[in-house]
Amino acid sequence: MSVDFDRSRVTLVDHPLVQHKLTIMRDERTGSKQFRELVKELALFEGYEATRDFPLDDAPVTTPICETVGKRIAGRKVAIVPILRAGLGMVDGLLELIPAARVGHVGMYRDEVTHEPHEYYAKLPSDADQRICLVVDPMLATGGSATAAIDYLRGQGVKDIRLLVLVAAPEGIATVLGHDPEVRLYTCAIDERLNDAAYIVPGLGDAGDRIFGTL
């Protein structure tokens, strides 16, 4: 069964290096240390795409050779918002790109039986409503956790929300985009489907457990 969604709101970050690294992550033999490193690296690749539209100002600069006019980011303020736990693995990669970003947290776990999200923690920068919020979580499965996180951010007045995941199921993409008319999605892969336990197929298993070694 094919699942429809608005592809114009989805950016597939499928650079050859991304695809190569993602295959190593999918491999069940890859241990936590390497898995964590790869989550961080892929977050960095996605960060480039998710910030591609940031406006620039002219910036005069004197090189060792002459005076010229370069470019500087025109003051867009950013918050990185990981969905706990697994989203934490993506924060450092994005902070390398955007060191001045603030970091908010939304704690969410998925009930193993119902697959419904449960929020257990939330803390945002006080001016989150003035910031572009990059919501990060490696996995978008049913879309329940991401939708709940987005609803929370909208409730706090956040206008510009960009959801960065590494692996997405078509069902989760359709749910998130159908629920929120503005959010944009960045993903390194769109997988086949969900299984009966609402895990992504082929996926990479439980991202949080693989990042933190709690398998």
Task: List residues binding ligand URA (CB under 6 A).
Answer: 139, 141, 199-200, 203, 206-208
Known catalytic residue: 110?
Answer: yes
Instruction: Mark whether 9 is an active-site residue.
Output: no
Position among 5, 97, 207, 210 found at the interface with ligand PRP (CB under 6 A): 207
Contacting residue, 93, 104, 117, 125, with ligand PRP by CB under 6 A: 117
Mark the segment that binds ligand PRP (CB under 6 A) among 27-35, 40-48, 91-99, 102-110: 102-110
Nearer CB in complex with ligand URA: 133/139: 139
DSSP code per residue over the chain: ------GGGEEE---HHHHHHHHHHH-TT--HHHHHHHHHHHHHHHHHHHTTT--EEEEEEE-SS-EEEEEEE----EEEEEEETTTHHHHHHHHHH-TT-EE-EEEEEE-TTT--EEEEEEE--TTGGGSEEEEE-SEESSSHHHHHHHHHHHHTT--EEEEE-SEE-HHHHHHHHHH-SS-EEEESEE-SEE-TTS-EESS-S-HHHHHHT--
Tell me how far, at minimum, the Cβ of 78 lies from ligand URA, in Å.
25
110 binds ligand PRP (CB under 6 A): yes
